[in-house]
Amino acid sequence: MFPGQGSQFPGMAKDIYEKSSLGKELLEQANEILGFRITDVMFEGSEEELKQTRITQPAIFIHSVVLAKCLGSSFTPQMVAGHSLGEFSALASNGTLSYEDALRLVYARSMAMQKACELNPSTMAAILGLEDSVVERICSETEGIVVAANYNCPGQLVISGENAAVDLACQKLTEAGAKRAIKLPVGGAFHSPLMEPARLELERAIEATAFHQPTCPVYQNVTASAVIDPLEIQKNLVAQLTAPVLWTQTMQQMLADGASEVIEVGPGKVLQGLFKKVDRELQVSSAEIVG
C-alpha cells in the first residue's frame, strides 16, 4: 500500500538517505530530475513548506518508491494499490513505470493541480459517521459543485468542491447526523470536476510516457479492481483526477481476492488504520529499511 497526500512530515526520508547508499543515490537523482533540491525541503523544511502541492506530491512519491527499492529482494508484492497520488508510487513499484518517468508525471500532476486550484478557489471536507448514500444524496441536492471524492473507509467520506458549496453541504450533513464535518487543509477540490484543466494537462503527459507490463496487479482508485493491462492503467490514471477515490471498495476487493497481510510503504500509517477499520484481524505493518 502506498500513501497519498497528507502523510508528509518534516524530516521525511532522511533516515533512508543516511542508512542506504542506494537510497542516497535515488534521492539525489530525484533532485536532478526535478531541477531543485527537494530533499532539502523534505529533510529540513517546515510543515507549511511541505504542504504546497508541488512539493507534497513528489516528496511522498520519492519517499515511498525509494523505500520500496531499498527493500530489494524482500519486496515481492502479490498486489499493489495507492491512495490517490500513491497510485503512481504503486505503478513505479510494480514495474509499470520507471522511477524517472513516474517522478516526472507526479511533478507534472502536482503543478497542473496547483494551477487548477488557483483557477477555482475550492476545498475538501471529511464527513464522519454517515452512510455513503446519505452523503452522496446531500451533495447532489446542494447548490454549486460539491461531490463525494474519497471513500476512505466505512463511515468516512471526503467531499470536494467550491468553497461555498462545501460549506453548505457540511452544514446540511451535520444536520443529517454526521458526527463531524472537518474542513481539510488542502489547496483545492481534488477528485472533483474542478480538476478538469489538470486532467487534460496530465492526459498529454501520460500519453507521452512509456507504460510497461506490471509484475503484479494494481488495484486502481477509479475501478477498485485489479488491472494488469498497461493501456487500461493509463486510462484509469487520467480519469483519477476528476473521479472519486474508491478506497473502501479497493480494500474490500483486495481482501476478497485473498490479501492476508498489508504493508504500507512510505511515510505515515494512515492506510494501515483504514484497513483495520475494514478487517480488525488483518496483519498490517510499515515497510522498514534494512541495514
Q: How far apart are CA 80 and CA 94, in angstroms?
A: 7
Are 39 and 13 in contact, with CB atoms under 8 Å apart? Answer: yes
Q: How far apart are CA 95 and CA 210, in angstroms?
A: 11
Q: Which residues contact 6 (CB under 8 A, 6 or more apart)?
A: 184, 268, 270
Q: How far apart are CA 33 and CA 112, in angstroms?
A: 17
Buried b (16+ CB within 10 A) or exposed e, 3-15: bbbbbbeeebbee
Q: What is the CA radius of gyration of the chain?
A: 18
Enumerate the H helices of the chain as residue ranges: 14-19, 21-34, 38-44, 47-50, 53-70, 86-93, 99-119, 132-141, 163-175, 196-207, 230-239, 247-256, 270-278
SS3 of 157, please? strand
Strand-by-strand arrangement of the 156-162 sheet: 146-153, 156-162, 122-128, 180-183
**Annotated catalytic residue, options 63, 89, 93, 191:** 191
**Annotated catalytic residue, options 84, 93, 122, 192:** 84
Concerning whether 83 is annotated as a catalytic residue, the answer is: no
Concerning whether 46 is annotated as a catalytic residue, the answer is: no
Residues annotated as part of the active site: 84, 191
